[in-house]
Every structure is written in structure tokens, then in C-alpha cells.
Amino acid sequence: MAEIPARMKALILKKDGFSGTSDGPTIESLADWCELAEIDVPRPSGTEVLVRVGLGNVNPSDLHYIKGEYGQPRRKGVPAGFEGMGEVIAAGDDEGAQKLIGQRVAVSTSRGGSGVWAEYALTDAKAVVPLHPKLADEDAAALIVNPMTAYAMLHLVKEAGGKAFVMTAGASQLGKLMATLAREMGLACIATVRREEHRSPLEGLGVGTVLNTEREDFNEMLVMAMRQVQPTVMLDAVADGHSADIFAAMPAGARWVIYGKLSTKSPTLPNLGQMVFMKKKIEGFWLTEWMAKASPEARKEAFTTVQERFVSGAWKTDIADILPLGEAEEKLADALSGLNKGKVLIRP
């Protein structure tokens, strides 16, 4: 075991618990929620591993979390950052954890531990993924949240016997990953966007139908698309009135699967008769739960598949910026403000 340094720099949470607000994943300044501090490096025990962080990712779920609007309570003084990559430098007594020492890994801290916006992160051995040697660090830092969600949700569509689905926020990183994977899996895709300039990139990735929710003819186009494509599942990151309209226009048996909440407005429950007479359902999807429940074989198959997609060039992580840890407090909000330019990473 390499020697573990005593102290590290980290962006730690300024507040505890939940805020009770529902403002969505935007920040005016990271300094409202996190501060750069020097703290003790956590020590792994049992099945835990300590990772020297190479790159930390910034996802909408991180912003929800630091604002106290995520599914888990904040822990004041603990580093933020759910996803990143690095090298395992120490582990608890567990044999499986010990075997990971020295390996380059992708890491998730979404079920506890100590976050990746820091020089060192602590998590369970099950929440790290040994990396393909040819996988770039930038792709590795964004390997779990988006790619695994894309993989898991499209398999959900497939397992439900669906041949077509709708995805909202189609121009997001996740939307682009789903577009190309869907094409290979033989699933027809309808994507919604909010700007006309997002149409042709998605069409270029193989999305059959792109609907702009801000256009006046949205509802007309929606009805036509539903009739032609007959999607049975909506994968929804927005959860606003447009989502409700799409759900209402979907055929009998449709499932509205909510996995994010980009909109701050809650929609009105649509046409309840459809739930009674057309067997429509509303449910949620959370990758962390999917990963906890998946069999070791299913996890391995998933992680192998997503890494191979990046190595082969089928998937690509768009990087908007990489900020040094020491500058994130000041610069992160600005770096994030350009919509859909790509991921912003943090380098300790």
C-alpha cells in the first residue's frame, strides 16, 4: 500500500441535509455551496478503496446535491463530486478491495464515501470500475453517470418489449449517447430539443424524429410523430408540461420514466382516464439503484460494453473545459453556463 498523505485539498460542502427548495441544477456561484479547504485524507476500511483522483466530473446530479435538492442529505465538511477517475492507492482489509490497488478506475461516490472534487476520494470497491487501457482519462471521468444511464435505460426499453421511445432533453450529453446506442439496438427514437440548432446534430446521430418543444407547431408535430413511431416509453430528464403533453399523446400502455428534473415547474398530472383505461404508468429511474441491484454479470457486461463504445469511437465525451481544483470555486458557474457545449471536469 502506498503511503497515504495526511492532508488534502478538497471542495467541501458548506451545508448539511436538504434545503427544501426545488430550483433545479443551476448555480450562480459554486462558492454558495462549496469551499476549498484542506482536510484529512479519509482512510479506507473493510471493502472501501481510496482513489487518487485524476479528474472529477460535474453532472446535474452534483448540482442538485450541493444545493440540497437531491435524493440524499448533504454532509457538511465532506467533499462533493459523485463521479470521476483516478488510481486506487489504498484499500481496506477486504480481499476484493485489496486487488484493486494500483489499478486505474472510474469511480462513483453516489452511495456514500467521500467525493471526487478532491485530491483523494473514498468509496466502496463495488463503486469502482477498472478501466480499459485505451480509454482516455476524459472519457473515464464521465464513464458511469451518463453512459451507464444510457445503457441501462435503453435496456429497460428493450426488456419492456418496446421498439421505440421518446427522450426529452435530446441535445444533452446523455441524449447523444442514447441516440447512437439506440440506432445500434434497433430502437426508433423521438427526441425533444428546445433550440432549432440542436436538430441536425441529433439527426446526424440517427435520431429519426426531432421535435422542438418551443415551436408553435409542437403539438401538431407531436401527434403526427406519436402516430407514426408509436413509442412505448418516455425517458424524461425534464418533467415539465411538455413531458405531460407527450405522455398524453403516447399510445396505450405507455410508461413515463422520469430520471431527472431539469424543469423547476411541476406539471399537472395529465388525463387520468388514460391511466385507468389505457394502462399508462409513471415511474422513476435511478442509476445508483440499478447498479446496486444488477447482478455482477450484468454489471460487468454493461461496463465492458460502455468502455468498448468509447474506445471504438462509437461514443465520445464532449469536453467544454477542465478546471484546476483551486479555480473551480470561482470559475465553475461560468464554465457550466454555456448550454450543451460539453462536460466541465475538475482536475485536482
* The three grid cell numbers given for residue 8, joined into one nine-digit string: 488534502
- Smallest separation (angstroms) from its own copies to the CB of 150: 16
**Nearest 5 degrees, angle CA 290-CA 171-CA 175?**
25
Footprint of its own copies on 197-256 (CB under 8 A): 239, 244
Q: Which range touches its own copies (CB under 8 A), out of 33-41, 75-83, 162-170, 260-268?
A: 260-268
Q: Which residue has the cell 429511474?
A: 285
275 binds its own copies (CB under 8 A): yes
Residues 122, 105: Cα–Cα separation, whole Å? 13
- DSSP SS3 for 256: strand
Among residues 133, 273, 296, 313, the one that binds its own copies under rule CB under 8 A? 273
Alpha helix (H) residue ranges in 118-257 = 137-141, 149-159, 173-185, 199-204, 218-229, 241-249
* The three grid cell numbers given for residue 2, joined into one nine-digit string: 502506498
Residues 239, 246: Cα–Cα separation, whole Å? 10
**Residue count at the site for its own copies (CB under 8 A)?**
31
Q: Which residue has the cell 400502455?
A: 253
Closer to its own copies by CB, 201 or 241: give it: 241
Closer to its own copies by CB, 268 or 295: give it: 268
Burial class (CB in 10 A: 0-12, 13-18, 19+), 28: exposed
Among residues 69, 87, 138, 329, the one that binds its own copies under rule CB under 8 A? 69
Closer to its own copies by CB, 112 or 284: give it: 284
283 binds its own copies (CB under 8 A): yes
60 binds its own copies (CB under 8 A): no
Please give the span between the terminal C-alpha atoms of the chain, in angstroms, as a whole number.
21
Residue 147, amino acid = P
Footprint of its own copies on 286-305 (CB under 8 A): 286, 289
Closer to its own copies by CB, 18 or 218: give it: 18
- Smallest separation (angstroms) from its own copies to the CB of 86: 27
| Binding positions for its own copies, rule: CB under 8 A | 69-72, 239, 244, 258-261, 266-270, 272-286, 289
